[in-house]
Structure 1
Amino acid sequence: MPAPLALYIHWPFCVSKCPYCDFNSHVRASYDEDAMGVALLADMAHEAALLPGRELGSIFFGGGTPSLMPPALVARLIEAATTHWRPAHDLEITLEANPGSVEAARFGDLAAAGVNRVSLGLQSLSDEALRFLGRAHDVAEGLAALATAQRHFGRVSFDLIYALPGRTIAEWDAELARAIGLGTGHLSLYQLTIEPGTRFASDVRRGDFAPMDDDLAAEFFALTQARTAADGLPAYETSNHARPGQESRHNLAYWRYGDYAGIGPGAHGRRLAMATERHRKPENFLSAVDRNGHGARAETALSPEEQAMEALLMGLRLREGVDLGVMGSRFGFVQTALVDFAAVERLAGHGLIERGGARLSLTEAGRPLLDAILAEIVAIEPVAA
């Protein structure tokens, strides 16, 4: 029996574009909420017809800024999803939210619509850092939104961005201790990365600021892992930390390489060995739905080699790692065709990787080096097109 399905719903609109953000987000003076709602429902129905009879384990409203969505539309989408698919008894329904007062005022209505988990974009507990990051809220407003979220939702997570230029280890240690003390069961802690095409990329190119040195950033990462583990929120994935039982089931579906349906502008999905991608621009997405009944821009069949590569990449992000025996059976490979065990042993000798029978996982020292380690150990090669 397949693992429960995950459903991702993308709301692409934002009030403003953050300088570090490379997500598919769009600022519009106005947009037709009703038309977007109709299109999302049609797009979902298309995926449901291709994935019939599945149990639905999670729904995730991402963006953009999904907390700007009308709660009535959120309710309609949840109702449609739980009609198309069989909802799990513990169905997780997450919505990403900005901590502005306008969005926080909707939390009660969003909870009534069925959302039971919120992921709040605090990003920092420093007003100076928030200004640098181009955020519209300050710390006081963010903490007020967090308190409101904790009243309305059974499960609350929030994001912080660290390793900012000019910040010290001591400052981050104090901020992290404060964050842990706020009482949520889940934290997403991301190092600042300069993504191509963002305003920060232009700023760095002009010399307006320099990213943190890699060696110093590695010290920030090590502190983050140690502090969260000591305080009961260990990393279960490279950047995600949770108390036992509070892990994001939706994101675990990605990292364990389960099927997930992605709908809405720019959404990606993995459906029965197919990679799916929606039109990114909202206007193009709406036109595609009008024309075809769905917003798909591309659907690409993935070879067993490509699936195995993706599963390794995603699975090794998890502290639990991957079971090569299960992967081999799933994709039709013997274990020695998946990874180079000589390379595994060499990296294990350097304290970067651990092997226990068929299970492979990265050590704390290896986790920041995932891409380089993959290049060393992966034995399979994608079939040329």
Structure 2
Amino acid sequence: MLKTKTKTRAEAGTGAPTSSGESFGVYVHWPFCAAKCPYCDFNSHVRHGGIDAERFLAGYLRELSHFAQRAPGRSVTSVFFGGGTPSLMPPRVTGAILDAIASHWTFDQGAEITLEANPTSVEAENFKGYAAAGVNRLSLGVQALDDASLKALGRLHTADEALAALRLARQTFSRVSFDLIYAREGQSPKAWEDELTRALSFAADHLSLYQLTIEDGTPFAALHEAGRLRTPKSEDARAMYLLTQEVCETAGLPAYEISNHAVPGSESRHNLLYWRGHDYAGIGAGAHSRIAQGGVKHALSTLRLPEAWLEQVEASGHGLASDETLTPSETAEEYLLMALRLAEGMDTARLEALGGTPLDGDLIDSFVAEGLLDRNGTRLTATASGRVVLERLILELAA
């Protein structure tokens, strides 16, 4: 049985982390999907011939050992099973990975253990197995609440299946989130407002709400270029974003990050770890890591093709494709790029402590005067107006 400082694996996930140092997370990438969605550019692969789950499990356990040697003595505050479609992973594999993590590191009291899932009826049958394995937070890829939109997005579930899976998830897990995509083809701001209002009636404590983006190399990109896929006009997409903020705020789930909304205290601890620039170990094909060793931050990534990753792990103990040493200024720049996405903003004192050069005071003053940034001591936060043009703010501050 996996151990935390004071709790078993099944009991982890209540209360705030108690470790004295910065958060440390483990990301587990399950790179397989039943079908590839036409908008997705994630490292996901379809294998109609089946997957040797036991062989991949052995690979995960071996790569975990490698990362445990590189980051010894850490207290794990969160684990995130992402993909791909982790709900295609047998629950016994999930449990074995969590037990291995516990054997290498200490689980913090209140450790958050999240698994991403698709809401098909077949995958929902495994929810109890994941909970027994130690998962205490489920993130459901609902994406839309009507069947026509789901079909257009290439999803394999129906709206009724999604709502049934959501009800089951809320009965099974202490914390539940689900995703929706807006600014879909033919969607108006009013239609999105109606859908979001309906979604909030089913919401637990967290929602991830993403504007549809056309990613290079995807089927949607080819359709868009050929004029066969038309996304809403920019002014309509902006209106949908602003509606999202207003409706969720009113419902008690304010944005704590550009695309993520939560009841205060129910934010995704694992994703906050990324945005706050803390360390994490990523295992599996195409996973990324940020690990400090001897005062030096390493940016690591693994081979993207699952079979190539597995063969290298079996031969070398890890599937690393790159291991880059970040300079202090590069580490600070990553923090700047990520932290301003958060409602809590960024700490300029921390930026400089990481090795960043002081930000341009005159530029900050001008953004404050424009109503795009707020400044409170050493903390900078983007205002509601600033979030709409956040990419511009970040690029100019980082220049």
TM-score, length basis structure 2? 0.92
1:41-60 to structure 2, matched below 5 A, reads 41-60=61-80
Worse overlay, 181-190 or 1-10: 1-10
Following TM superposition, by how much is the alpha carbon of 1:339 offset from its aligned partner in structure 2, in angstroms?
Answer: 1.5
Q: Residues 307-318 of structure 1 correspond to what in structure 2 (within 5 A)? A: 307-318=331-342
Candidates 291, 295, 306, aligned match of 2:319: 295
d(CA) in 2 for partners of 1:176 and 1:293?
A: 46
- Aligned residue in 1 for 2:213: 193
Q: Secondary structure at the match of 1:355?
A: strand
Instruction: Please name the residue that 2:298 is paired with.
Output: 274
Instruction: Report the counterpart of residue 226 of structure 2 in structure 1.
Output: 206
Matches within 5 A, 1:86-125: 86-125=106-145
Once residues 95 and 81 of structure 2 are traced to their aligned partners in structure 1, the CA distance between those partners, rounded to angstroms, is 12
SS at match of 1:366: helix
- Identical residues among aligned pairs (%): 48
1:323 and 2:385 matched: no
Contact 1:341 1:377 in 2 (8 A): no
Q: Is the 8 A contact 1:340 1:378 kept in 2?
A: no
Task: Pick from 25, 40, 43 the counterpart of residue 24 of structure 1.
Answer: 43
2:32 to 5, 9, 13: 13
- Look up the SS of the partner of 2:162 in the other structure: helix
Which residue in the other structure is 1:376 paired with? 396
Residues 324 and 359 in structure 1, CA contact (< 8 A), matched pair in contact too: yes
Look up the match of 1:168: 188
Once residues 29 and 21 of structure 2 are traced to their aligned partners in structure 1, the CA distance between those partners, rounded to angstroms, is: 24
- Once the two structures are TM-superposed, the CA of residue 166 in structure 1 deviates from its matched residue by 1.2
Residues in 1 aligned to 2:327 and 2:227: alpha-carbon distance in whole angstroms: 43
Does the alignment pair 1:338 with 2:338? no
What do residues 219-258 of structure 1 show as CA deviations (whole Å, max 9, x unaligned)?
1100000110111000000000000111000000000000
Shift of 1:338: 3.2
One-letter identity of the residue aligned with 1:277: S
Distance 1:244 1:155 in 2: 13
Is 1:67–1:103's contact at 8 Å kept on the other side of the alignment?
A: yes
Aligned to 2:142, the other structure's residue is in SS state strand
Aligned AA (1:104): A
Query: Which deviates the most, 47-56 or 366-375?
Result: 366-375
The equivalences for 1:239-278 within 5 A come to 239-272=259-292, 273-278=297-302
Q: CA deviation at 1:371?
A: 1.7
Distance 2:261 2:97 in 1: 29
Question: Shift in Å at residue 287 of structure 1?
Answer: 1.2
CA deviations 1:144-168 (Å, max 9, x no partner) are 0111111110000000000112111
Aligned-pair Cα RMSD in Å: 1.0
Secondary structure at the aligned position of 1:118 is classed as strand
Contact 2:113–2:137, Cα closer than 8 Å, also in 1: yes
Alpha-carbon distance in 2 for matches of 1:375, 1:16: 36
Letter in 1 for 2:317: G
**1:120-199 alignment, distance < 5 Å:** 120-199=140-219
Partners in 2 of 1:349 and 1:214 — Cα distance?
26
Q: Which amino acid aligns with 1:21?
A: C
Q: Give 1:305's aligned amino acid.
A: S
TM-score, scaled relative to structure 1: 0.96
Task: Work out the number of aligned pairs and report it.
Answer: 375
- 1:234–1:243 contact (8 Å) kept in structure 2: yes
Q: Which whole-Å deviations, capped at 9, do the CAs of 1:115-145 have from their partners, x for residues lacking one?
A: 0000000001122211111111110010001
How far the C-alpha of 1:327 sits from its partner, in A, is 2.3
Runs of 4+ in 1 over 6 A off after TM superposition: none
CA distance in 1, matches of 2:180, 2:358: 35
**Contact conserved, 1:354 with 1:360, CA < 8 A, in 2?**
yes
Shift of 1:31: 2.0
Aligned partner (choices 248, 273, 296) of residue 228 of structure 1:
248
What amino acid sits opposite 2:265 in the alignment? G
Q: Distance in 2 between matches of 1:126 and 1:68?
A: 24
Q: Is this contact kept in 1: 2:177–2:203, CA < 8 A?
A: no
Show CA shifts across 1:330-372 (max 9, x none): x234xxx331121111122221111111111101111132221
**Secondary structure of 1:181 counterpart:** helix
Q: How far is 1:290 from its partner?
A: 1.5
| One-letter amino acid of the structure 1 residue matched with residue 355 of structure 2 | G
Report the Cα distance in structure 2 between the residues aligned to 1:240 and 1:158, rounded to whole angstroms. Answer: 10
Letter of the aligned partner of 1:74 in structure 2?
Answer: T
SS of the residue corresponding to residue 196 of structure 1 reads coil
Unaligned runs of 5+ in 2: 1-19
Q: What are the ranges of 5 or more consecutive residues in structure 1 without an aligned counterpart? A: 380-385
